[in-house]
Structures are given as structure tokens and as C-alpha cells.
């Protein structure tokens, strides 16, 4: 699925483009970084997502006749500029961290090097795509971690903030680890598993709960999972489900299980588990829904619940506790006489000061454990010799240092576009999910816990730190 999102931008991108054009500097080469300053909610990390849709954006970047006509109607731009836009397309370079990668604040997720007029236009749509999908993939990762091996089904479409949020939120949720989605369109577009059974209205449309269960079992004998809390979970729902399961078994079919959607899920699941086991259905699954998130799931697990499958909707698809990631797009360098000159944004808020220059990110792993130790943001021309000790330090609290030996490094960013041409092929969503699992497995659980997680080290190289320090002193 592709569509032209060229006009999905803020007006000030177009007014800046027009200004560059009128001043004759629109073809000046510039470098921009996409990054976020803080992780979403209480998470200590994020999961990169949305790159495939960024690729679609860039490949289809152009102004159609209707776009030009609308811009003309604003009476902001002259005909020379509008004529220029008629042949506009992206000719630059993009590097990015692949989807599914564990990422941290201030690391460039995407690096754009292009004519400044091209780089300026793509800011808004790129941030819209990456901010949203990274947010939802991160939330899903935390929910899946809380489920601790139990399958997590994404059920949020009806509560998402519009069709696009539901569609691409489902994609991101699967990247974050959800085993399936209720969103049929997402299943069709992204070739991911879809799941779902029936609602309370199915039960209520029949004269009795037992009749409704029997009807559903007749239609879906090999995939029968019954919603048991419409009337009375333990007095009616589970007993009627067991009765129908007996009838299914007599016909040669085994039930999938039951779903709980209300009440004390810990208590109900434990009693229901005993009832199912006593009736001869130890393999019947118990699925639970009802406004779940990672914290609720974690607490239910602590209470000994017997839930096998988790249906998570509203609080996942909206990332309820943190509805925005807050990623930004900042100028890092600009061409002056054929040389990239570093640029820095200064603020009275130290966390808003940017890292200057044409940069990359490397991840350092211990050879003896294979686990991630720290990330290092470096200038692109820097190298690390893993045969020599490497001292890294906190970029603000510089007295915090550690010297590493017996390690190896991996560059996180890969080329996506060169000279305006796509050079990267996106994996399937399920391949990205598997990569995300493997990447997350290189981080200790201390970085993933829900309360007071250990802070992962993201440091600056000596050369980048000195450049930033010198530029700050010069600006003062």
C-alpha cells in the first residue's frame, strides 16, 4: 500500500523551502538527524519502527497538479517556485537504524543528507510515521515482556485514533512482539496473523447462553474459543462451555478454550482453570481481555493468575500512559564551500542541546556474554579498534567512566537511499518481529523491568564530545 504523502507537512516547511529557493541556497547540502530525547512513559528503551513507511514516503515524493493548484491558492508562493515543485523529487542520501532495533535517547534513528530544500520537506511526515510506530512498538514490547511467554493479541482497532493509527499501530504492535491482531486490514496489508472469536452480542442474540455456545461450536468446531462472562462466569459461562466442549469432543474436535473479559481476572482464571482441568480439558486455553496493559498483566501474574493468552486493546494501541514519543528532526551539519560544517542548537535546557556533526551510532557488546554494554554516538569518520582498550564516559557527568576490553562493535545505521535511489529492502513484518526478539535478547532484564530500570549507557566519542564542547564555548 502506497499513497502520496508529499503534502502531509506543516506549512512552515513549505515557507522555509520557499525562503531557501528565493535566496538561491535551496541546493545547499544539509544533514538532519531524527532522534528522541526521552523514552516513552516509564520505558527505559524504545523499539525502532516505521522505516518501511518512510521508504514509501520518499519513493513517492512529488507534487501533483492538484497540489500545485492548492499551493497557488494560498497566495504565498510565486510561479517560479511552483514551477520548480512540478519536477521535485528526493535526490539525497538516507541512513537509518533498522526496524525492530532497541534504541535509546539522542541516538540518530534516521540521518538525512540532501539538498536542504528536500531535507526540509520530509521532516513532518517522517516524524509522524516514526514517532507513532516506535511508540506503539515500544508499548507492545513492554506488554509482551509482562506476559512472560503468554501470547499477546492486539485488539485495539476500535479505540485507535483513526484508521491510520489502527492500521499502522497494529503493524507496530506485531513488530513489538504481539502474536496477532484483530485488525483484518492490517492482516491483509502486512501478512500478519489475525485472531478473534465473538462478542457478548453473539451470546445475547440467542435465547440462551448454551444455545449461543452450541451455535458457535457448530460453525467453528476446530477453533472454538467461548466468551464466558456475559451473564455469570462461574455459575453459567464456564459450565456451559464445558458442556459444549464435551459435545465437540464426542464429534472428534478439541476446543481451544475460553475468554474472560471482566471481573477479577486472577481469581476467575484460577477457578476456571480448576473447573476445566477437572472436566478433562487441561489443554484448554484461558484468554483474558478487559483494559489490560503491562502493569496490570504483571500484577495479575504476581497473583498467580492462570491466563495463557492476553487480548490487549485500548491501552496498547493508544499507548495510554504516554500518547506521544516526542521525536525531533534537527539540523546537524550544512555544506560550506564543499565541507560539512557542524551545527548545534543551544538551549537553556541542557537536554535540548543537540549533538553536532555528521554522526553514526555503534553498539558495544561483550565477547564473553554477547550482551550489549553501551552505545556510542560518534562522528562518521571515526573508527574503533576492538583490539585496544576503549574508555567511555557519561556525556554530562564526565567523571563516570569505564574502560572496556574483550568487546566487539556493530554499526547500527544502514544505507537506505543513495542519490535518491532506494538501496535497502525492508524485511517482512514477521521477519522484523523475529529480529526485534533477537536484538532484545542481547539486553539484560535489568534494562526492561517496570520499576527503576537500570540506565543503559549512551555516550559520546571523545572526538564528538570535544567538538560539542568547543562549539558551546564558541557560542558563549
Q: Is the pLDDT of residue 420 over 70?
A: yes
Cβ-Cβ contacts under 8 Å for 473 (sequence gap 6 or more)? none
Q: How confident is the model at residue 455 (pLDDT cuts 50, 70, 90)?
A: very high
Angle at 65 between CA 59 and CA 66, to 5 degrees: 100
- The predicted structure's pLDDT at residue 42: 86
Contact assessment for residue 330 and residue 33, using Cβ atoms and an 8 Å cutoff: yes
Looking at the chain, the whole-number percentage of residues with pLDDT higher than 70 is 100
Percentages helix, strand, coil for the chain (3-state, rounded to 5) are 40, 20, 40
Tens of pLDDT, residue by residue over 34-85, are 999 999 888 999 999 999 999 999 999 999 999 999 999 999 999 999 999 9
Other CB atoms within 10 A of residue 186 CB: 25
Distance CA 109, CA 416 (A): 12
Query: Do the strands 457-460 and 372-379 form a parallel or antiparallel pair, or are they unpaired?
Result: parallel
DSSP 398-440: TT-EEEE-SEEEEE--EEEEETTEE---PPPHHHHHHHHHHHH
Cβ-Cβ contacts under 8 Å for 259 (sequence gap 6 or more)? 197, 225, 226, 227, 228, 229, 286, 287, 288, 289, 311
- State the average pLDDT over residues 192-212: 97
Contact assessment for residue 373 and residue 364, using Cβ atoms and an 8 Å cutoff: yes
- The predicted structure's pLDDT at residue 41: 81
Range(s) within the chain of domains with CATH label 3.20.140.10: 11-136+323-475
DSSP 142-175: HHHHHHTTSEEEE--GGGSSSHHHHHHHHHHHHH
**In this structure, what C-alpha cell is assigned to residue 180?**
496477532
- The predicted structure's pLDDT at residue 1: 62
Contact assessment for residue 371 and residue 353, using Cβ atoms and an 8 Å cutoff: no
Q: Which residues pair with 361 in a beta bridge?
A: 377
Q: Is the pLDDT of residue 114 over 80?
A: yes
Contact assessment for residue 256 and residue 153, using Cβ atoms and an 8 Å cutoff: no
Distance CA 190, CA 430 (A): 9
- The predicted structure's pLDDT at residue 351: 87
Distance CA 437, CA 102 (A): 10
DSSP label at residue 233 = I
Distance CA 459, CA 107 (A): 10
Contact assessment for residue 147 and residue 141, using Cβ atoms and an 8 Å cutoff: no
Range(s) within the chain of domains with CATH label 3.20.20.70: 137-317
Tens of pLDDT, residue by residue over 296-318, are 999 999 999 999 999 999 999 99
Q: Is the pLDDT of residue 125 over 70?
A: yes
Contact assessment for residue 115 and residue 29, using Cβ atoms and an 8 Å cutoff: yes
- Residue given cell 521525536 in the structure block: 327
From 12-21, 372-381, 411-420, 446-455, the region with the lowest mean pLDDT? 446-455
Q: Which fold has domain 11-136+323-475?
A: nicotinate phosphoribosyltransferase (3.20.140)
Strand, coil or helix: what is 458? strand
DSSP 181-196: ES-HHHHHHHT--B--
- The predicted structure's pLDDT at residue 434: 98
DSSP label at residue 445 = G
Q: Is the pLDDT of residue 275 over 70?
A: yes
Q: How confident is the model at residue 3 (pLDDT cuts 50, 70, 90)?
A: confident
Tens of pLDDT, residue by residue over 232-253, are 999 999 999 999 999 999 999 9
CATH of domain 137-317: 3.20.20.70
Q: Which residues pair with 409 in a beta bridge?
A: 364
- As a whole number, the mean pLDDT across the chain is 96
- The predicted structure's pLDDT at residue 476: 76
Amino acid at each position: 500500500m502506497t499513497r502520496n504523502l508529499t503534502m502531509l507537512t506543516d506549512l512552515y516547511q513549505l515557507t522555509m523551502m520557499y525562503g531557501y529557493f528565493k535566496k538561491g541556497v535551496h541546493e545547499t547540502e544539509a544533514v538532519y538527524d531524527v532522534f528522541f530525547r526521552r523514552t516513552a512513559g516509564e520505558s527505559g528503551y524504545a523499539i525502532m519502527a516505521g522505516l518501511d513507511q518512510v521508504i514509501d514516503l520518499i519513493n513517492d515524493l512529488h507534487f501533483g497538479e492538484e497540489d500545485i493548484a492548492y499551493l497557488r491558492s494560498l497566495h504565498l508562493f510565486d510561479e517560479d517556485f511552483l514551477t520548480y515543485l512540478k519536477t521535485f523529487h528526493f535526490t539525497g542520501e538516507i541512513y537509518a537504524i533498522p526496524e525492530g532495533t532497541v534504541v535509546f535517547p539522542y541516538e540518530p534513528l534516521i540521518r538525512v543528507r540532501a539538498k536542504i530544500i528536500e531535507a526540509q520537506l520530509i521532516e513532518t511526515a517522517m516524524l509522524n510515521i516514526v514517532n507513532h510506530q516506535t511508540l506503539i512498538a515500544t508499548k507492545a514490547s513492554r506488554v509482551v515482556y509482562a506476559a512472560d511467554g503468554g501470547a499477546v493479541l492486539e485488539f485495539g482497532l476500535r479505540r485507535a485514533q483513526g484508521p491510520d493509527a489502527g492500521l499502522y499501530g497494529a503493524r507496530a504492535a506485531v513488530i513489538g512482539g504481539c502474536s496477532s491482531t484483530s485488525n483484518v486490514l492490517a492482516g491483509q496489508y502486512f501478512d500478519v496473523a489475525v485472531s478473534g472469536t465473538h462478542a457478548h452480542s453473539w451470546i445475547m442474540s440467542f435465547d440462551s447462553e448454551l444455545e449461543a455456545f452450541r451455535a458457535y461450536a457448530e460453525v467453528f468446531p476446530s477453533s472454538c474459543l467461548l466468551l464466558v462472562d456475559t451473564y455469570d462466569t462461574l455459575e453459567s459461562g464456564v459450565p456451559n462451555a464445558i458442556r459444549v466442549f464435551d459435545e465437540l469432543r464426542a464429534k472428534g474436535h478439541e476446543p481451544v478454550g475460553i475468554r474472560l473479559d471482566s471481573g477479577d481476572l486472577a481469581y476467575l482464571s484460577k477457578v476456571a482453570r480448576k473447573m476445566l482441568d477437572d472436566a478433562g480439558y487441561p489443554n484448554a486455553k484461558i484468554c483474558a481481555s478487559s483494559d489490560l496493559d503491562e502493569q496490570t498483566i504483571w500484577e495479575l501474574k504476581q497473583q498467580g493468575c492462570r491466563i495463557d493468552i492476553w487480548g490487549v486493546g485500548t491501552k496498547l494501541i493508544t499507548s495510554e500512559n504516554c500518547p506521544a514519543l516526542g521525536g525531533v528532526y534537527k539540523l546537524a551539519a550544512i555544506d560550506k564551500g564543499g565541507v560539512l560544517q557542524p551545527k548545534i542548537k543551544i538551549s537553556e535546557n541542557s537536554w535540548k542541546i543537540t549533538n553536532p556533526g555528521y554522526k553514526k551510532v555503534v553498539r558495544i557488546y561483550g565477547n564473553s556474554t554477547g550482551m550489549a554494554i553501551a552505545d556510542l554516538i560518534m562522528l562518521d569518520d571515526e573508527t574503533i579498534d576492538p583490539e585496544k582498550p576503549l574508555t567511555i564516559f557519561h556525556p554530562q557527568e564526565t567523571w563516570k567512566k569505564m574502560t572496556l576490553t574483550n568487546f566487539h562493535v556493530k554499526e547500527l545505521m544502514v544505507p537506505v537511499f543513495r542519490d535518491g535511489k532506494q538501496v535497502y529492502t525492508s524485511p517482512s513484518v514477521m521477519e522484523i518481529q523475529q529480529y526485534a526478539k533477537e536484538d532484545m535478547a542481547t539486553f539484560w532484564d535489568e534494562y526492561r523491568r517496570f520499576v527503576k530500570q537500570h540506565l543503559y549507557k549512551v555516550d559520546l566519542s571523545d572526538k564528538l564530545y570535544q567538538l560539542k564542547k568547543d562549539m558551546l564555548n564558541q557560542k558563549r
